[in-house]
């Protein structure tokens, strides 16, 4: 927290150092000693972040942070090598963040900033932002690895990182096939990810590229009372063998220029993206004849850039300013399909262009142990949405918002305290700009919602930490308010304003290095998130999360154990999700050019539910149909073992 560690030298993704308490920096070595099987798992090192997979590996995760249900990324800004990954107006969810293209071996560090205090993070940074740095910091050279697991997992990975090259220079490739646990949780993926670094005088360039494709099962979720009745097993896939396909081509260029009192850091990117998801969460509730399966498809071309300019006026004052621009050209469709995948109704076919941008300006002041930043950023978007099913519903619009942000911190070698304040912004999706014919011959604003709006979250944070010998511990309190939340209701097709909500919470951590080769870290996050009118809890948002991480690094042996506790979670309508405890472990042994690894998922072998939801479904058609919601679960990973062998060439 508040750590100034720079993970990869001159990183493009972290050009500023906002002195807020909710910053967690995870180094490459820590990530290597964290049990994981993909890049998503590496994000579990972010304290207070809970991720739930209600599909299977390869589909984007559902994120919860600081009392937000960020769904697939609507409230967490995620960047890889400085490139924004949240997809504007994805058909499956606003801000959909799919990290499947990132080969985990190439993640050189994670910088998580909770809260909207950083000037450089615009859209989606309402609950926080996460930057993944790319690079191969240790064990450079050329190596290949093979992993086999108890879920019929086979993964082949190759890494080439010239030993005399900079950390940012590498190319990796991985091929994965995993049958998954239970029914229809398999995945097949192939990814190539590379980056290099070029230096010319004061200029440093980092071109990167990624090509990725994959498939994944979409097992849906299962009602608990369908499990207790024996109609389904907890690892069954009610919708059968439905699944998804994901592909991405991404290129980027990071640039850094430093001379005298000036520094410019920028990123430009261009990418193509395709996502196809077949899913059925409600069975035959809404269509007894066809079933409720739907097919969502999205194709997008996205390009943009980010330039930050910092100019030092005096020894203690710097100007922080910059601009973001992005253009998204998307096509999205949603069809209702039968059990045999025959389209029986088209519910959406939309072409949309979104041009968005942000500009920020502020000052940074540093004197002795004190650091402060203060400024504002403005974000705006223009959307042209063409409804291909009904041209009369096509629409366009422009919206924008200015948000202030700032933080101040005192830091010395033994003690730090900081205070942050700011507002984050979540954009509406393109479909929110379409028009809806008014019912009852009334003005459209009476019955049919209003214009699309930006949702903003105002946050405060106060925290600090103390170093006592090998022990460091700290606490942070935070509060977030959303006055009104603009939501596009896909069922009724209107923009609605949800009531305001507020989130109050605290994060505690302690970390120690009792032995030179042993590091221990524990953290706990407690949040009370509620709507202000009804005082109902924000559904799904964890009230209590805890993590204990132990990392050992001694000679040829390394080991990592991560235990995570998820407290009971409120669901809609007064239902409650179960608590869960999961312990994962890994160990490696290196000898010469060879390294063997063993990873164990869910060491304790406890049944746990990664996701829980409260809604109505109708699968057992031999029973009476009911629209009353019931608890559905997405089972968490069971006990499993993966063994790997890596050979340096």
Q: Which residues bind another protein (CB under 8 A)?
A: 224-225, 440, 445-447, 449-450, 484, 489, 491-492, 496-499, 501, 531, 533-534, 536, 548, 563, 565, 567-568, 571-581, 583, 604, 606, 609, 612, 614, 616, 624-631, 633
Minimal distance, residue 528 CB to another protein, in Å = 16
**Under the phi-then-psi rule, with left for phi > 0, alpha for psi from -120 to 50, and beta for the rest, what region is 330?**
beta
Q: Which is nearer to another protein, 290 or 630 (CB)?
A: 630
Minimal distance, residue 223 CB to another protein, in Å = 10
Minimal distance, residue 138 CB to another protein, in Å = 29
Q: Which is nearer to another protein, 404 or 629 (CB)?
A: 629
Rounded Cα–Cα distance for residues 27 and 5 (Å): 9
Minimal distance, residue 578 CB to another protein, in Å = 4
Q: What's the token pair of residue 523? A: 């953290």
**DSSP reduced 3-state for 162:** coil
Q: Which is nearer to another protein, 513 or 630 (CB)?
A: 630
Q: Which is nearer to another protein, 205 or 572 (CB)?
A: 572
Backbone angles phi, psi at 32, to 5 degrees: -65, -30
Minimal distance, residue 544 CB to another protein, in Å = 9
Rounded Cα–Cα distance for residues 5 and 22 (Å): 14
In 280-369, DSSP assigns E strands to 294-312, 317-337, 343-367
Q: Which is nearer to another protein, 74 or 256 (CB)?
A: 74
Q: Which is nearer to another protein, 346 or 581 (CB)?
A: 581
Rounded Cα–Cα distance for residues 233 and 480 (Å): 40
In the chain, what is the greatest distance between 2 CA atoms, to the nearest angstrom? Answer: 78
Minimal distance, residue 507 CB to another protein, in Å = 19
Do the Cβ atoms of 272 and 301 come closer than 8 Å?
A: yes
Do the Cβ atoms of 76 and 127 come closer than 8 Å?
A: yes
> Nearest CA to 305 among 78, 83, 81, 96?
83
What b/e sequence results for 294-326 when a residue is b if at least 16 CB atoms lie within 10 Å of its CB, and e otherwise? bbbbbbbebebbbbbbbeeeeeeebbbbbbbeb
DSSP secondary structure, 606-632, as one string: ---EEEEEEE--B--TTS----S-EEE
Q: Which is nearer to another protein, 158 or 572 (CB)?
A: 572
Q: Which is nearer to another protein, 328 or 485 (CB)?
A: 485
Minimal distance, residue 627 CB to another protein, in Å = 4
Minimal distance, residue 539 CB to another protein, in Å = 9
Rounded Cα–Cα distance for residues 240 and 292 (Å): 13
**DSSP reduced 3-state for 175:** strand
Which residues is 423 bridged to in the sheet?
458
Cβ-based burial of 208 (10 A; exposed 0-12, middle 13-18, buried ≥19): buried
Enter the DSSP assignment of 40.
Answer: H
Q: Which is nearer to another protein, 136 or 224 (CB)?
A: 224
Minimal distance, residue 565 CB to another protein, in Å = 6
DSSP secondary structure, 310-321, as one string: EEESSSSEEEEE
Q: What's the token pair of residue 565? A: 């506790």
> Nearest CA to 95 among 298, 361, 386, 359?
298
Q: How far is CA 154 from the centre of its chain?
A: 25
Q: Which is nearer to another protein, 205 or 585 (CB)?
A: 585
Q: Which is nearer to another protein, 556 or 574 (CB)?
A: 574
Minimal distance, residue 535 CB to another protein, in Å = 11
Give a three-class secondary structure readout of 441-480: HCCHHHHCECCCCCEEEEEEEEEEEEEECCEEEEEEEEEE
Minimal distance, residue 579 CB to another protein, in Å = 5
Minimal distance, residue 588 CB to another protein, in Å = 21
Q: Which is nearer to another protein, 412 or 440 (CB)?
A: 440
């Amino acid at each position: 927290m508040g750590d100034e560690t720079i993970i990869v030298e001159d990183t493009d993704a972290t050009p500023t150092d906002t002195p807020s308490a909710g910053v967690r920096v995870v180094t490459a070595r820590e990530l290597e000693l964290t049990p994981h099987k993909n890049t998503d798992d590496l994000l579990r090192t972010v304290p207070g972040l809970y991720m739930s997979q209600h599909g299977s590996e390869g589909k984007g995760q559902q994120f919860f942070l600081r009392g937000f249900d960020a769904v697939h990324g609507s409230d967490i800004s995620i960047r890889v090598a400085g490139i924004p990954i949240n997809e504007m107006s994805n058909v499956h969810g606003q801000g959909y963040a799919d990290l499947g293209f990132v080969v985990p071996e190439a993640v050189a560090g994670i910088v998580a900033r909770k809260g909207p205090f950083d000037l450089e993070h615009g859209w989606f940074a309402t609950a926080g932002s996460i930057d993944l740095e790319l690079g191969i910091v240790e064990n450079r050279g050329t190596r290949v690895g093979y992993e086999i697991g108890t879920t019929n997992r086979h993964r082949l990975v190759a890494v080439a990182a010239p030993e005399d090259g900079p950390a940012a220079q590498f190319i990796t490739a991985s091929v994965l096939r995993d049958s998954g646990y239970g029914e229809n949780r398999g995945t097949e993926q192939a990814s190539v990810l590379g980056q290099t670094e070029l230096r010319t005088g004061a200029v440093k360039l980092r071109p990167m590229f990624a090509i990725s494709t994959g498939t994944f099962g979409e097992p849906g979720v299962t009602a608990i009372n369908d499990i207790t009745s024996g109609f389904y097993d907890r690892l069954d896939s009610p919708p059968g063998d439905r699944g998804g396909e994901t592909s991405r081509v991404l290129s980027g260029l990071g640039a850094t220029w430093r001379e005298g009192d000036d520094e410019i850091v920028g990123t430009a990117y261009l990418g193509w993206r395709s996502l196809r998801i077949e899913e059925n969460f409600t069975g035959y509730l809404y269509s007894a004849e066809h079933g409720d399966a739907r097919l969502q498809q999205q194709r997008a071309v996205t390009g943009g850039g980010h330039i930050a300019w910092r100019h030092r006026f005096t020894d203690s004052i710097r100007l922080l300013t910059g601009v973001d621009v992005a253009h998204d050209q998307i096509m999205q469709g949603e069809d209702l399909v039968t059990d045999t995948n025959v389209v029986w109704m088209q519910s959406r076919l939309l072409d949309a262009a979104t041009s968005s941008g942000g500009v920020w300006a502020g000052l940074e002041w540093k004197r002795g142990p004190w650091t402060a930043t203060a400024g504002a950023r403005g974000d705006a978007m223009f959307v042209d949405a063409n409804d291909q099913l009904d041209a009369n519903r096509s629409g366009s619009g422009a919206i924008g918002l200015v948000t202030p942000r700032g933080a101040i911190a005192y830091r010395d070698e033994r003690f730090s305290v900081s205070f942050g304040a700011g507002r984050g912004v979540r954009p509406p999706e393109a479909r929110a700009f379409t028009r809806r014919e008014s019912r009852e011959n009334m003005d459209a604003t009476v019955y049919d919602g209003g214009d699309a709006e930006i949702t903003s979250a105002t946050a405060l944070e106060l925290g600090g930490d103390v170093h006592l010998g090998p022990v460091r511990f700290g606490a942070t309190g935070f509060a977030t308010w959303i006055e009104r939340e603009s939501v596009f209701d896909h069922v009724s097709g209107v923009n609605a304003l949800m009531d305001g909500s507020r989130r109050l919470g605290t994060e505690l951590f302690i970390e120690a290095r009792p032995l030179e080769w042993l590091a221990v870290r524990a953290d706990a996050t407690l949040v009370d998130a509620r709507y202000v009118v009804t005082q109902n809890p924000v559904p799904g948002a964890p009230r209590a999360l805890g993590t204990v991480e132990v990392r050992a690094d001694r000679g040829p042996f390394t080991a990592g154990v991560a235990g995570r506790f998820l407290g009971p979670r409120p669901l809609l309508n007064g239902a409650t999700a179960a608590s869960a405890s999961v312990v994962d472990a890994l160990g490696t042994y290196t000898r010469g050019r060879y390294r063997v690894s063993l990873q164990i998922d869910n060491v304790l072998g406890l049944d746990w539910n990664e996701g829980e939801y409260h809604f109505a479904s109708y699968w057992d058609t031999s029973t009476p149909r009911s629209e009353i919601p019931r608890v559905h679960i997405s089972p968490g990973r069971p006990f499993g073992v993966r063994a790997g062998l890596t050979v340096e060439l």
